[in-house]
Amino acid sequence: MSGPSHAVEVAQGKISGLIRASRSGRNSIKVRELLSGPNLVVFSSLDVTEVQVDAPLKNVVAIAFGMLDALKETSDRFGDNTESLLLAAGGPERDPGPPAAGNRRFGREIILSKPIKGCSSIDQVIEGLPRFGYIAEGVVTSK
């Protein structure tokens, strides 16, 4: 089972989506039918490896999308074509799925509020993550 979703928002009934992978099509569909509801969309997949690999990778790409969001607001050099380029570079063979919100938010903040200014390594950025008050798991994955 993989997101993108925050468990808290699922529990609050906010519209969310998950993907359930299993080598057994029957099991994947059964879990999808059990968990799906008016606020939770569950997709089925037979490609367990793809879901395992893409789950963390989409978080790294989400940070880049957040940065691009902020750059589009602050510069006229970035637009929809740039976003398409990033999507293609981030996963041309696979659809990485919707990015986790905390990662995209972190990417925006890198550009707008510069929370990693002064960090000289990814380890320093990781050490500082607790002060943000949300999870940006793509930072750890990028290491």
Q: Annotated catalytic, 30?
A: no
SS3 per-residue string spanning the chain: CECCCCHHHHHCCCCEEEEEECCCHHHHHHHHHHHCCCCEEEEEECCHHHHHHHHHHHHHHHHHHHHHHHHHHHCCCCCHHHHHHHHHHHCCCCCCCCCCHHHHHHHHHHHHCCCCCCCCCHHHHHHHHHHHCCCCHHHHHHC
Q: Which of 58, 72, 114, 143 does the annotation list as catalytic?
A: 58
Q: Identify whether the C-beta of residue 122 lies closer than 8 Å to the C-beta of residue 143.
A: yes
First to last CA, the chain: 23
Residues with a catalytic annotation lie at: 58
